Structure 1
C-alpha cells in the first residue's frame, strides 16, 4: 500500500500546496526552514487539520477528501512521536505504552503484556514502573517511539523527534532510531529542519520552502545537486546559477567561473568550501579562478574554520571557504580583511538548471 497525500491548506496568508508519496518500509523526510509548512502537512496527514482541498489516502482507503470524506485521527492507522514526546506524566512508562492499545479496545492485561514486550525491545523493561519525569531525554524518546509503534500503525509520523535532546545524546539516539526504522514495515514520514537527521534516517528527502516542494530525491542526490540556496546551505556547498559556454560560466549575479570540463546552456554551479583557498597576495601563476575578496565572517566548524567572503565583480559575489585553524593564524584573519580567493576548477560540479 502507498500513502498518497495531495495537501492543499490555506491558513491566513500562508498557502500550502504539496504532493508526496510514501511507500511501505520507506522513510521520507519532509525538510525545510521554519514556516515552510512541514508541521501543517503533518497535522493534515494525522487528521488534526482538515484539508481545504486535495486528497489523503492509503491506497484506496481515503482519509480526507473534501467535502465528502474526513476521518478523525482516531480512525486513521497512525502513530505519532511529537517533538516534546508528550508522555502522560500521571502514568508510568508501562501504562504510557499501553495507552494506545487500551484506547483501541485491547484488554488491559493483553495491552500491558504487549507494552512490556515493546519496552523490552528498547532496553527499558526495568523502567516500566517509572514516571516520565524520572527519565533521561533519550529514554523518554524511546518510550514515545514504542508507544507509537505498539498499535502496529500503517503510518509513523515523527515530528522533530530528536530536537529535545542535548548534543551529547543525539548521536546515540539517532543511530538507535535508525535501527528501529529499518525494522518498521510501515510507512514513515519524518518532519525535521535538521539536515543531518534527514540525511542519516531517510531514504528520500522532500524539501519544502514557502509551502511548495522545491526539490526531492535520495539524500546523496540532494547533497550532490542542490537546486536552491537553502538546500545548498543545508549540504554545505557554494551554489550559483549561470550560462555555460565551453569552459566558462557567466554567472547570473555577475562575474565568471572557469570550468575544467566544458558545458553549455543554463547550469547550476556547485563546489565545496574546501575547494576554495585563501592567500594574502595573488598566488603565482595567476590561475583563472582567482579573485580579490573581503572577509565578512569567521565561524568555527568542528575541526575547520568557515570563512565567509565577498568577492569582486569578476567572480561570485559571495563565497564560503573552509580552512584549518593553522591557516587562520597564518593569515591573521579578521572581518574586513582583504585577501585573494582561489578556486580549483577540478572540484567544480555543473548540472542543468
Structure 2
C-alpha cells in the first residue's frame, strides 16, 4: 500500500500545501529551514492536527479528508519517535516498550514478552529493568525506536530522532538506526534539519520552504542539482541563476561564467567551495573563470578555512590554513577568485 498525503493546513497566516508519497519500505526525509512546515506535516500525518484541505490515504484507507473524514491519532497505525524520546520516567525500559501494546489491548504477559524481544533486537536486553534516567542518549533513542516499532505500525514518524545526541554518539546511533530502517517493511517519514542524517538514512528527500515543496529526489540528485539557496547551503555548494548561451552563462545578479558543457536558456550554475582558488593577482593558465573579490568573513572549519567573499558574484571558498597564511587573509582584503570551467556545472532551472 502506498501512503498518499496531500497536506493542506492553514494556521493563522501560515499555509502548508505539500504532497508526499511514501512507498512500503521507503524512507522519505523532509528537510527545510525553521518555519518551513516540517513539524506541521508530521503532526498532520500523526493525527494531531486535522487538515483544512487535501487528504491522507494509506492504500484505500482514508485517514483525513475534510470535511467528511478524520481518523484520530489513536486509530492510526503509526509509531512516533520524538526528538527528546518522551520515555515515561517512572517505567522501566521494558515497560516503556510494552506501553503501546498494552494501550492497544494486548495482555500484559504477551506485551512484556514482545517488548523483551524488541529490546533484544536493538541490543538492550540487559537494560530491560533500567529506568530512562540511567540510560545514555543512544540507549534512550533505541528504547524509543523499539517502543514505536513494537506495535508493527504501517507508518513510522521520526521527529529529529538524533538531535539530542552528542557528535560521537550520533555517528554510531545513526548507523544502527539505518540498519533498523532497512529491516522495517512499512513507510518511514523522517523530519530533520541535518543534511547528513537525511543523506545517510533516506531513500528520497523532500525539501520544504514556506510551506511548499521546492525540491525532491534521491539524495544524490538533490546534492548534485540544488534548486534553491537553502538547498545549496545545505549541501555545501555555490549556487547561481543565469541564462546560458553555449558555454557562456550570464548570471542574473551580474557577472558571467564559462562552463565546459554548452547549454541554452535559464539555468542553475553550481560548484563546490573547494573548487575556488584565491590569488593576489589575476591568474593565468588553463581556461578558468576569474573575478575580483573582497574578503567578507573567515571561518575555521575542522581542517579547512571557509572564506566568504563579496564580488560579482559573491562566493564561498574552502582553502587550507597554509593558504590563509600565504595570502595573509583578513576582512576587507582584495583578491582574485578563480574556478576552472570544468568545475562549473549548469543545468536547466
The alignment partner of 1:242 has SS state of strand
Partner of 1:175: 175
- 1:320 CA displacement: 0.8
| Alignment match, 2:338 | 342
Note if 1:72 corresponds to 2:68.
no
What is the aligned partner in structure 2 of residue 214 from structure 1? 214
Residue of structure 1 in register with 2:4 after alignment: 4
Secondary structure, counterpart of 1:89 in structure 2 = coil
Structure 1 residue ranges, 4+ long, deviating more than 6 angstroms after superposition: none
How far does residue 328 in structure 1 lie from its aligned partner after superposition?
1.1
Deviates more, 1:142-151 or 1:121-130: 121-130
Please state if 1:55 is matched with 2:48: no
Question: How many angstroms apart in 1 are the aligned matches of 2:319 and 2:63?
Answer: 52
Question: For each residue in 1:149-206, what CA deviation from the matched residue of structure 2 results, as whole angstroms up to 9, or x when unmatched?
Answer: 0000000000000001111111111111000000000000000111110000000000
Encode CA deviations 1:73-129: one digit per residue, 9 max, x unaligned: 110000000000000001010000000000000010000000001001111111111
1:36 equivalent in alignment to 2:32 = no
**2:304 corresponding residue in structure 1:** 304
**Which ranges of structure 1 fall in alignment gaps of 5 or more residues?**
none
Q: Measure, in 2, the Cα distance between the counterparts of 1:18 and 1:276.
A: 36
Provide the aligned C-alpha RMSD in A.
1.0
Deviations 1:237-258 (A, max 9, x none): 1110100112211101111111
User: Hey, what's the Cα distance between the residues in 2 that align with 1:58 and 1:6?
Assistant: 12
| 8 Å Cα contact 1:85/1:140 also seen in 2 | yes
Offset, 1:260: 2.0
Q: Is the 8 A contact 1:88 1:96 kept in 2?
A: yes
Helix, strand or coil: the match of 2:41?
A: helix
* 8 Å CA contact retained: 1:3, 1:56: yes
SS of the residue corresponding to residue 289 of structure 1 reads strand
Q: How does 1:111-130 map to 2 (within 5 A)?
A: 111-130=111-130
C-alpha deviations, 1:232-283, integer Å up to 9, x for none?
A: 0001111101001122111011111111222111111111111110012222
Q: Work out the CA distance in 1 between the residues paired with 2:288 and 2:194.
A: 37
Q: Quickly say closer, same or farther: Cα 1:78–1:286, change in 2 above 3 A.
A: closer
Whole-Å separation in 2 of the counterparts to 1:286 and 1:30:
41
Which whole-Å CA distance do the structure 2 matches of 1:197 and 1:302 have between them? 19
| Mapped contact 1:287–1:342 kept (Cα < 8 A) | no
Q: Which moved more, 1:216-225 or 1:327-336?
A: 327-336
In the alignment, what sits opposite 2:136?
Answer: 136
Mapping of 1:254-333 within 5 angstroms?
254-285=254-285, 288-311=288-311, 313=312, 316=313, 318-333=314-329
Q: 1:285 to 1:120 in 2, by over 3 A?
A: closer
Is the 2:288–2:340 Cα contact (8 Å) retained in structure 1? no
TM-score, with structure 2 as normaliser: 0.98
8 Å CA contact 2:286–2:340 kept in 1: the answer is: no
Contact 2:287–2:341, Cα closer than 8 Å, also in 1: no
Number of aligned pairs? 349
State the shift of 1:3 in Å: 0.4
How many Å apart are 1:35 and its aligned residue? 0.5
- Once residues 286 and 41 of structure 2 are traced to their aligned partners in structure 1, the CA distance between those partners, rounded to angstroms, is 52
Q: Mind listing any 5+ residue stretches in structure 2 that lack a counterpart? A: none
Q: CA deviation at 1:287?
A: 5.3
Q: What TM-score does the superposition give when structure 1 sets the normalisation length? A: 0.97
Structure 1 SS opposite 2:181: helix
How far did residue 302 of structure 1 move?
2.5
